[in-house]
Amino acid sequence: MTTPPPVLVVDFGAQYAQLIARRVREANVYSELVPHSTPVEKMLARKPAAIILSGGPSSVYADGAPQVDPALFDAGVPVFGICYGFQAMARALGGEVAHTGLREFGGTPLNIADEPGVLLRDLPADQSVWMSHGDSVSTAPPGFTVTAASPGARVAAFENTEKRLAGVQFHPEVAHTPYGQEILRRFLTGIAGVEPTWTNEEIIEEQVRAIREQVGDKQVICGLSGGVDSAVAAALVHKAVGDQLTCVFVDHGLLRAGEAEQVEKDYVAATGIKLKVVDAADRFLDALAGVTDPEQKRKIVGREFIRVFEQAAREVAAENDVEFLVQGTLYPDVVESGGGSGTANIKSHHNVGGLPEDLTFKLVEPLRTLFKDEVRAIGAALGLPDEIVWRHPFPGPGLSIRIIGEVTRDRLEVLRVADKIAREELTASGLDRRIWQFPVVLLADVRSVGVQGDGRTYGHPVVLRPVESDDAMTADWSRLPFDLLARISTRITNEVPEVNRVVLDVTSKPPGTIEWE
């Protein structure tokens, strides 16, 4: 996608690098992450509007610690350092960083100096900021004004507005720094002089233009799942090229109860987009037979999806091959598949890491750099109905990655009934909006002893995994009311004969992921 000059967030291995990019976009400025190994010339070639150096686990003076190339500061590009980035910046510009023995973690009072600079002017004198550091800048580089201190950091913020360079020891990107977003915004607009024009309307206009340019007068198909990401991607492409778009919904036999019917009925009614429904359950289930490894399942699903799309493409435009496949891929799908800035492969999302090597489609992925809540906002701006915009995410590989063990028709049926009960009860309790997602997982290879109707049972456990999240990158288990959990448990064990135990997953992400595979 063509985008305005980015604010590049240089990732030094921070916990919060993703969050920084997001916060910049929340300040209506386009932003992307890059790994710290990116050479400065390569960053400058992107003509960045500004560069932000993230935090990171290393000590700047340790052997092998990632450094900042001082050439970065001679290029005239505005730079903002955060925590490790602040320390690395201080060191590169001739200041000093030391292990003072004073460490700060968590909420910390900030003492704003008499000369508060652009970043801190007129902010409350007694505000709290979120710290997480063991090293500190002991001397600011020449030419910089020190604008704040904290009990453990003599230099907690500095700036040189003439050179458009600034930095802070604390984390402005986290919600626990109440004025953090304001400070970040002041750097962007007040010091860097970036125009805050990256609004939903701009994104939509820019995307529509880019899609028209990419697709021309060719036919396009879009994998449509009923979820919000593909719905928004389809709506953007439809706005760009109208009837050249045909959506393809694949019923791979791994869907939840009622899902296929709902997509067929509601989606067309809501959007008027051409929809082709393909029943491909046999081919997916045959391909998955005997497979228990999560990554293998994901790769099989990714491959079969593409084979089905290829067949559908031939049917959509027999005489004129369809070159383009639209997918609702989001940034977290890319990052978790190991396609981010030097990030590890956590799991291969079917639409990214699970794609087959012989893929011939050109991909159209207008949401590839965004997070889900950003996508929801665009969906709302495009006029999609609330039921689509606020639908809980459901993974493309569907129930195949919620059956721990081999995927069979019988097991799918068991899980479908249990899942339907959990969803019905959640909706009845009015808590749908509080919950990000509510996977129900069948431990198909585990059995436990129970007693039902005075008889012994030896059935399977089902795991409830309700989570709350903003963007699926981190999540916490949802504290659902006990009586709701009790109703779900009772109904599942009463109504699903194969299940005699219901357990609750109380793991946050990290260390767990949302899905079990």
Ligand X SMILES: Nc1ncnc2c1ncn2[C@@H]1O[C@H](COP(=O)(O)OP(=O)(O)OP(=O)(O)O)[C@@H](O)[C@H]1O
Ligand Y SMILES: O=c1[nH]c(=O)c2[nH+]cn([C@@H]3O[C@H](COP(=O)(O)O)[C@@H](O)[C@H]3O)c2[nH]1
Ligand Z SMILES: NC(=O)CC[C@H](N)C(=O)O
Show which residues are catalytic: 83, 171, 173
In 3D, which of 27, 50, 390 has the Cα closest to residue 199?
27
Cα distances from 94 to residues 75, 138, 152, 325, in angstroms, run: 17, 11, 21, 51
Judged on CB neighbours under 10 Å (0-12, 13-18, 19+), 78 is buried
Q: Phi first, then psi: what are they for 186, rounded to 5°?
A: -65, -35
Q: Which residues contact 329 (CB under 8 A, 6 or more apart)?
A: 229, 349, 351, 352, 363, 365, 367, 368
230 binds, among ligand Z, ligand X, ligand Y, none (CB under 5 to 8 A by kind): ligand X
- Decide which of ligand X, ligand Z, Mg ion, none touches 133; Cβ closer than 5 to 8 Å per partner kind: ligand Z
Q: Does 394 bind Mg ion (CB under 5 A)?
A: yes
Query: What separation in angstroms does the CA of 441 have from each of 112, 445, 502, 505?
Result: 51, 12, 10, 10
Q: ∠ CA 179-182-183 to the nearest 5 degrees?
A: 85
Report the site for ligand X in 342-361 (rule: CB under 6 A).
351
230-259 mask for ligand X (x: CB under 6 A)?
A: x-----------------xxx-x-------
| Contact (Cβ atoms closer than 8 angstroms) between residue 174 and residue 284 | no
Burial of 356 (0-12, 13-18, 19+ CB in 10 A): middle
Based on CB atoms, which residue is closest to Mg ion, 97 or 367? 367
Beta strands in 219-285 (DSSP E): 220-223, 245-251, 275-279
Asked if 227 interacts with ligand Z (CB under 6 A), we say: no
Measured from the CB atom, is 148 or 224 closer to ligand Z? 148
Minimum Å gap between C-beta 99 and ligand Y is 36
Q: Is 229 in the site for ligand X (CB under 6 A)?
A: yes
Shortest distance (Å) from residue 482 CB to ligand X: 28
State the pairing for strand pair 440-442/455-464. Answer: antiparallel
Cβ distance to ligand X smaller for residue 25 or 252: 252
Binding of ligand Y by 52 (CB under 6 A): no
Q: Check binding of 514 to ligand Y (CB under 6 A).
A: yes
Any binding-site annotation on 508?
no
When the beta carbons of 198 and 394 are compared against Mg ion, the nearer one is: 394
- Residues between 380 and 439 that touch ligand Y (CB under 6 A): 393, 395-397, 437
* Position 351 contacts Mg ion (CB under 5 A): no
The answer to whether the annotation marks 227 as part of a ligand binding site is yes
Residue 335: CB minimum distance to ligand Z, A: 19
Residue 228 or 370 with smaller CB distance to ligand X: 228
User: According to the annotation, is 316 in a ligand binding site?
Assistant: no
**Cα 140 from Cα 156, distance rounded (Å):** 10
What is the nearest approach in angstroms of ligand X to the Cβ of residue 410? 21
Q: DSSP H helical segments within 102-191, as ranges?
A: 117-120, 180-185
Say how far apart CA 97 and CA 90 lie, in whole Å.
Answer: 7
Is residue 225 part of an annotated ligand binding site?
A: yes
Q: Least CB distance from residue 36 to ligand Y, whole Å?
A: 24
| DSSP reduced 3-state for 247 | strand
Q: Is 267 in the site for ligand X (CB under 6 A)?
A: no
Per CB under 6 A, does 84 bind ligand Z? yes
250-273 core/surface letters (b: 16 or more CB in 10 A; e: else): bbbbbbbbebbeebeeebeeebeb
CA 69 to chain CA centroid, Å, is: 30
Minimum CB separation from ligand Z for residue 51, in Å?
16
Verify binding: residue 466, ligand X, rule CB under 6 A. Answer: no
Q: Is 240 annotated as a binding residue?
A: no
155 binds, among Mg ion, ligand X, ligand Y, none (CB under 5 to 8 A by kind): none
Q: Is 248 annotated as a binding residue?
A: no
The β-bridge partners of 159 are 145, 166
Q: Is 467 assigned to a binding site?
A: no
Per CB under 6 A, 59 contacts ligand Z: yes
Q: Which of 37, 47, 57, 481 binds ligand Z (CB under 6 A)?
A: 57
With H, G, I as helix, E, B as strand and everything else as coil, classify residue 502.
strand
Q: Binding string to ligand Z for residues 131 to 170, with x set by CB under 6 A, is what?
A: -xxxx-----------------------------------
Site membership for ligand Y, residue 376 (CB under 6 A)? no
3-class state of residue 260 by DSSP: helix
Contact present, 458 and 388 (Cβ < 8 Å): no
Check binding of 347 to ligand Y (CB under 6 A).
yes
Which residues contact ligand Y (rule: CB under 6 A)?
298, 336, 347, 349-351, 393, 395-397, 437, 472, 509, 513-515
Binding residues, by number, are: 225-231
Binding residues for ATP, by number, are: 225-231
Which residues contact ligand X (rule: CB under 6 A)?
223-225, 227-230, 248-250, 252, 327-328, 333, 351, 391, 393-396
Which residues contact ligand Z (rule: CB under 6 A)?
55-59, 83-84, 132-135
